Structure 1
Amino acid sequence: MHIAQSAQVAESASIADSCKIWDLAQVRELADLGSNCIIGRGAYIGSGVTVGANSKIQNDALIYEPAILGHGVFIGPAVVLTNDTYPRAINPDGSQKSATDWTPTGVTIGDGAAIGARAVCVAPVRIGRWATVAAGSVVTKDVSDFALVAGVPARRIGWVGKAGHPLTQVDDVWVCPQTGEKYQESENGLTEAYE
């Protein structure tokens, strides 16, 4: 395990031995980082956040609780996963809000998904397995497995395979140009094609 001297890691956080946590990162109480996770410079991992094995969270990303990240998730630089559906600093009576005045809602990200630099995922949303969110996008609705989404608000503009490359449609299947893997589209989204 490597934890930079300037990083702040709560004693109650569960950090696998093979993780790397770089300068000025903060990992809060009860966060759970699986094996081989890399937490970039200045990243924030909120209380109780779960990060699956082999995930990479790049510099200055903000992962607010109660986010759940699957295995092999990529979080680009300065990505934000929000946790307050109706944000306010004060209550209707003018008193300052405290932790008991709201219920955090989280973002869930499936295995292998990638969130591009400076994207914002507005809770509560689910990003599907192997999906890709383009840099600078604002995600306000759930994203299907293998979907490629972009824009503000984010909309599906295509499909991606496990290698992250946009898929090409060949007859009734979608094909990865890098691996040759095939996928089938249905009304429920995209699934791997097993021959």
Structure 2
Amino acid sequence: MSYWKHASAILDEGAQIGEGTRIWHFSHVCAGARIGQRCSLGQGVFVGNDVAIGNNVRIQNNVSVYDAVTLEDDVFCGPSMVFTNVYNPRAAVARKDEYRRTLIRQGATLGANCTIVCGVTVGRHAFVGAGAVVQKDVPAFALVVGVPARRVGWMSRFGERLVFDTEGRAVCPTTNDEYQLVGERCELIGEGSF
């Protein structure tokens, strides 16, 4: 076995688990799930059948990754954050054919107790603050907070808050990556040491 699982974890037959992945106490991975290499699934994590998880993803305790969710490489899911897959659920109304797909792009951070309402895309290296409720797409490198979530700044790939000069340029203080504001977007224009 090229991955590790705690004795209390349940992995349904057919689940694909990448090399070096670790699955902790009381987690459940359904048969159709695809999980990449070097991932960590904390205590009490649930992964549905129609879920794709990239490499080096960190899912903290008590997170349920429901059907129709895709997490690209290097995504961080904070403790007890929430994904949904039906926009208007009712216990008495079956809506499994109405799942809305959710895409979390490479390197994004989803803070503790945030909620990602189904059908959105969170951009590359975006940062969703703790407790935020995301109801619409989040641009790459954006920092969003609040209920509903709104953009309050920009973050570097390294997770540093970016401060832009009058020409719309910023440099990550840790890596020296260079960024440029282009309208309502932030673009990486020069890579430093990250």
Q: Distance in 1 between matches of 2:79 and 2:6?
A: 18
Q: One-letter code of the match for 1:71?
A: D
Q: Distance in 1 between matches of 2:19 and 2:160?
A: 32
User: Mind listing any 5+ residue stretches in structure 2 that lack a counterpart?
Assistant: none
| 2:50/2:66 contact within 8 Å kept | no
| 2:28/2:44 contact within 8 Å kept | yes
CA-to-aligned-CA distance 1:136-174 (integer Å, 9 cap, x gap): 000001000000000000000000000111101123202
Corresponding residue number in structure 2 for 1:163: 158
CA-to-aligned-CA distance 1:63-119 (integer Å, 9 cap, x gap): 11110000000000001111001111113xxxxx374xx421122100000000000
Q: One-letter code of the match for 1:44?
A: F
RMSD between superposed Cα atoms in Å: 1.3
| 2:177/2:190 contact within 8 Å kept | no
Q: Give 1:188 deviation, angstroms.
A: 4.9
Q: One-letter code of the match for 1:51?
A: I
Corresponding residue number in structure 2 for 1:94: none
1:75 to 66, 74, 77: 77
Q: Give 1:10 deviation, angstroms.
A: 1.1
Q: Could you tell me the TM-score, scaled by structure 1's length? A: 0.92
Corresponding residue number in structure 1 for 2:183: 187
Spell out structure 1 runs of 4+ moving beyond 6 A: none
Q: Percent identity?
A: 38
| 1:29/1:48 contact within 8 Å kept | no
Q: Could you tell me the TM-score, scaled by structure 2's length? A: 0.93
Q: CA separation of 1:161/1:98 partners in 2, compared to 1, >3 Å: closer, same or farther? A: closer
